[in-house]
Amino acid sequence: MAERVRPLVVFDFDRSLCTEADTDDYICEKLLPEENLREMCNQYLPGWQNVINHMLSLIKKKGLTTADIEKCLASLVIPAEVVDTVKRLHDDLGYDIYILSDANTFWIDRVLKGSHCDSYIDKIMTNVAKYNEAEDLLVIEPFYAGPAHGCPNSCGTNMCKGQGIA
């Protein structure tokens, strides 16, 4: 007997599941209101994670901690109707639910758990957040690091969503 293949739904995270905000912009606006994340892009390319790592170093220099970032993320919630839809797709209709996002594991995990949506997500493909104990700093690593791959889309150096879903 052939194994049943479950249907799949893939969500981005920022401004889709997390409808309220782009998490990177939200963290910057709340914890570094004097900075402009989009202006940082011109200084720390290539790689979105380099921009976010610079933002995280500024947060640390300001005397804020990973706990402050978590507290900030706790104020972001996935709307109840979105959680209900994801739950219905997953539990009632049998869909696998994936997230494919240019955010990072730290942001996504905290918002999903705070919104009680984490148990409905089967796979998360995003940049990896790691805690560097020696520097007492959260560090974002790319989803994958590699050379240009010939994709017709304008992908970042850290992630091609087409390859991520393939």
Residue 114 amino acid letter: G
162 pLDDT exceeds 70?
Answer: no
Q: Two tokens at 32?
A: 């570094």
Per-residue pLDDT tens over the stretch 48-105 = 788 899 999 999 999 999 999 999 999 999 999 999 999 999 999 999 999 999 899 9
Tell me what pLDDT residue 21 has.
Answer: 87
**Predicted pLDDT at 51:** 87
Q: Which two structure tokens, joined as six digits, stand for 23? A: 């998490």
Mean pLDDT of the chain: 87
What is the C-alpha separation between 163 and 166, in angstroms, rounded?
Answer: 5
Which pTM does this prediction carry?
0.87
Query: Distance between CA 74 and CA 39 in Å, rounded?
Result: 26
Whole-number Å distance between alpha carbons of 108 and 126? 9
